[in-house]
Structure 1
Amino acid sequence: MVIRLLCLLLWAALPARADTLRLIVPDMRPVVGEMIPVTIRGEYTGPITLEKMTFPDSPAYDWTQVARDRWADERVDGKLFRIFERRVAVFPRQPGTLTIGPVTHHLTKAQGMTRNTVEVTAQPATWTVAPYPGSGRPLASSHVTVKDEFSTDPSRLGPSETFTRRITLTADGTMAHLLPPRPLIREPWLISFAAPEVRETRLTAQGPVAVAIWEWSMRPHTGEVGSLTPIQFPWFNTQIREMRGAVTLPVEIGIAGFGDNIGGTPGALRRVVMQGAAFALAGLVLGLIVALPGRALAPRRLTARLRGMLPNPKRRALRDAAKTGDLMALRGAAEAFIRAENRLGRNPDPAPLRALDEALFSGTPPGEFDRNDFLRRLTARRQAAKTFSHRDPA
């Protein structure tokens, strides 16, 4: 009994636990533009009638509060406390040492009829920020999606028909002003009007989500078929700590029924002549094969061989794109070349296109990418498509 009494007296003599405030932060080395989640947690005693906390601004970072303040009663070490939590996302603007805080919470407590003002301060937190590994605006995200939508099929437009193109870029864990600027879409054969862009930061339970929406009204003013090259959005993947890229697909634009546009333009006339020559050559080969005694081929095999001999209409555009040094334009021309190869029944090697994507997304300077080797590998016919050593039985 005496021992219990002494323990109670000793416990009562101990000083009451003071109010505390601290920053709960992750152990990480962020890059410029990467979200740093910060939780400000306070543990307070006594009734609180008023409170005010201002998160400090700084030219070294952007920040936003991602959820409402949380107040709750919780027991800590067996004692009841009034708990305060505020969740903030911080985005460093520059490499080097980043310091956040100190942060002070101004409290007004009621004790009977009196009111006391208490200031509780959280010690600052510090990180070492790495440079952004890419170029342009620092877009660091855990997940990026790009959606490319059209009001109608742009490859089958009616005469003087206008269509709408909308690109929606969404990035988790970042803010809207960190998304890239509106892409430029300019072609001499295309009339384009841009609507005002939409940018917003949406707050979710997992953190902020940045959204940018760009919209254009477009109309080709010639009958010639045109192609819009893919649009690249480089970004730093915070999950795997590497640069990646979100890319739109190439867009074919043309008037339905007038894709070849033989209206007298030199380019169109050249295509018509080349196509006529190709079909004449195919007819000649067909006649020779049929005329050979005992060497007639099955119709399916004959068709495949004739298609394999036809030239790719996108080869010239591919070579022209390689001469410009613009890797994005080269990628769009390569996509069109591969689609044409597939329509001709040929199966080009996908490895060169993968190498081009790696150069684009890793930030390799255009001058360091071997465009001649890329052309050679992409335009090379596979052995099965160019070798006709097999003969049908006589």
Structure 2
Amino acid sequence: MVIRVLFLLLLAALPVRADSLRLVVPDMRPVVGEMIPVTIRGEYTGPITLEKMTFPDSPAYDWMQTARDRWADERVDGKLYRVFERRIAVFPRQPGTLTIGPVTHRLTKAEGTTRPVVEVAAQPVTRAVAAYPGSGRSLASGRVTVRDEFSTDPSRLGPSESFTRRITLTAEGSMAHFLPPRPLIREPWLISFAAPEIRETRLTPQGPVAVAVWEWSLRPHTGEVGSLTPIQFPWFNTQVREMRGAVTLPVEIGIAGFGDNIGGTANSLRRMVLQAAACALAGLVLGLGAALAGRTPAPRRLIGRLRRLLPNTKARALRDAAKAGDLMALRAAAEAFVMAEARLGRRTDPAPLRALDEALFRAGPAGEFDRRDFLRRMMRRQRGTTDPDRALADHRGW
């Protein structure tokens, strides 16, 4: 009995834990524009009737609340508390030391017939912010995707026919104003009308997502075949901590049948002759091999072998891009070449494409990249076969 009384006296003598509020910020060194997740956590005693909290604005950062406030009863060190959590995303605007807070939570409590007002403060937290490693707007994200859509095939338009091009750019963990401005699509042979831009930040269960949608109505007015160059969207990948880029493919625009009737007849005829000769030679070689082996290959295997002997129709565009020296155009031509190789069932080495990506999205002069060696490695045939989906996945892993 005496021991119990002493224990109760000891508990009464211990200081009562007061209400507390703190900022929970991960240990990180973000770059300008990178999202810093902040959780404001309060642990309170007693019934609360009213509450008010205002997160402080600052010229050093942008911020937004990413989820509804959470209230729950939880035990902390064996004692029951009323727990409050608010989730905030902070985006630094400039390099240097970033200070978040202080934050004050104003509470109205119920104590019998009185309603005392209590203010609980969270101490500020600082983080070192690095400069954005790229140029332009500070787009830092864990994942960026670009979708390029067309209302019809732009390479086979009818006379005076228009088509719609829509580019949708999304960046997870970012805000809409960090996305780049609308790309310019201007060619002397093309009539272009731009629709109003859609730019917004959408809240998802995983956090904010920045979305920009650009749409154009396009129509060639000269009848000649033209091409729109690839569009590059540089961004900082917060997972690998390196600059990356989202790139659209080149767009061929022309009137159906125009090239065949005017300047494209000779080139088309030569291409058809070369492909027919390749098919004939492939059939002769395979037939001779099968006759010597005393058996006939299965039709599916025979078709696959024939297809792998066909020339890549994107090889010339790849050579032209390598000769021109524009690395962005070379990147798009290389991806088109890889896709064509995959459709023919042939493998390509992913290493030169990764080297090109590093030259594109890391700081350094473009002249340092060896385009001749890149072209030689891309044209080199790899042993074995592969399916198109797997081949494209190998090259799009960046």
State if a TM-score over 0.5 links the two structures.
Answer: yes
How many angstroms apart in 2 are the aligned matches of 1:226 and 1:11? 84
Q: Shift of the alpha carbon at 1:26?
A: 0.7
* Structure 2 SS opposite 1:329: helix
How many angstroms apart in 1 are the aligned matches of 2:159 and 2:274? 34
Partner of 1:111: 111
Partner of 1:129: 129
Partner of 1:293: none
1:57 aligns with 2:45: no
Check whether the contact 1:225–1:261 (CA below 8 A) recurs between aligned residues: no
* Structure 2 SS opposite 1:16: coil
How many angstroms apart in 1 are the aligned matches of 2:120 and 2:282? 89
How many angstroms apart in 1 are the aligned matches of 2:366 and 2:103? 47
Give the AA of the match of 1:246: A
1:143 aligns with 2:143: yes
Give the AA of the match of 1:114: T
How many angstroms apart in 2 are the aligned matches of 1:121 and 1:297? 82
Q: Shift of the alpha carbon at 1:331?
A: 3.2
Q: Shift of the alpha carbon at 1:250?
A: 2.0
How many angstroms apart in 1 are the aligned matches of 2:377 and 2:10? 84
1:234 aligns with 2:234: yes
1:89 aligns with 2:89: yes
- Could you say if the C-alpha distance between residues 279 and 141 of structure 1 is closer, same or farther in structure 2, counting changes exceeding 3 Å? closer
How many angstroms apart in 1 are the aligned matches of 2:40 and 2:18? 17
Q: Shift of the alpha carbon at 1:223?
A: 2.3
Partner of 1:357: 357
How many angstroms apart in 1 are the aligned matches of 2:8 and 2:273? 108
Partner of 1:183: 183
How many angstroms apart in 1 are the aligned matches of 2:31 and 2:344? 47
Summarize deviations over 1:197-240 as a string: whole Å, max 9, x none.
11111112221111111111111112222222222222222222
Check whether the contact 1:223–1:259 (CA below 8 A) recurs between aligned residues: no
Aligned-residue identity in percent = 79
TM-score (ref. length: structure 2): 0.78
Q: Shift of the alpha carbon at 1:111?
A: 2.0
How many angstroms apart in 2 are the aligned matches of 1:193 and 1:5? 86
Partner of 1:24: 24
Q: Shift of the alpha carbon at 1:313?
A: 9.2
How many angstroms apart in 2 are the aligned matches of 1:50 and 1:111? 13
Unaligned segments of structure 2, at least 5 residues: 287-304, 384-398
Partner of 2:48: 48
* Structure 1 SS opposite 2:258: coil
Check whether the contact 1:19–1:43 (CA below 8 A) recurs between aligned residues: yes
User: What is the correspondence of 1:1-394 to structure 2 with a 5 Å cutoff?
Assistant: 1-260=1-260, 262=262, 268=263, 272=265, 300=284, 315=316, 325-334=325-334, 352-371=352-371, 373-374=373-374
How many angstroms apart in 2 are the aligned matches of 1:92 and 1:155? 44
* Structure 1 SS opposite 2:210: strand
How many angstroms apart in 2 are the aligned matches of 1:49 and 1:282? 81
Check whether the contact 1:312–1:341 (CA below 8 A) recurs between aligned residues: no
Q: Shift of the alpha carbon at 1:326?
A: 3.3
Summarize deviations over 1:8-51 as a string: whole Å, max 9, x none.
12322333211100011111111111111110001111222221
Greater radius of gyration (CA): 1
* Structure 1 SS opposite 2:203: strand
How many angstroms apart in 1 are the aligned matches of 2:203 and 2:312? 53
Check whether the contact 1:314–1:336 (CA below 8 A) recurs between aligned residues: no
How many angstroms apart in 1 are the aligned matches of 2:190 and 2:144? 29
Q: Shift of the alpha carbon at 1:375?
A: 5.4
- Could you say if the C-alpha distance between residues 261 and 60 of structure 1 is closer, same or farther in structure 2, counting changes exceeding 3 Å? farther
Which deviates further from its counterpart, 154-163 or 71-80? 71-80
* Structure 2 SS opposite 1:73: strand
Check whether the contact 1:225–1:260 (CA below 8 A) recurs between aligned residues: no
Partner of 1:388: none
How many angstroms apart in 2 are the aligned matches of 1:36 and 1:313? 44
- Could you say if the C-alpha distance between residues 220 and 39 of structure 1 is closer, same or farther in structure 2, counting changes exceeding 3 Å? same
- Could you say if the C-alpha distance between residues 191 and 40 of structure 1 is closer, same or farther in structure 2, counting changes exceeding 3 Å? same
- Could you say if the C-alpha distance between residues 78 and 184 of structure 1 is closer, same or farther in structure 2, counting changes exceeding 3 Å? same
- Could you say if the C-alpha distance between residues 159 and 339 of structure 1 is closer, same or farther in structure 2, counting changes exceeding 3 Å? farther
- Could you say if the C-alpha distance between residues 146 and 11 of structure 1 is closer, same or farther in structure 2, counting changes exceeding 3 Å? same
Unaligned segments of structure 1, at least 5 residues: 263-267, 287-295, 385-394
Q: Shift of the alpha carbon at 1:126?
A: 1.2
Partner of 2:295: none
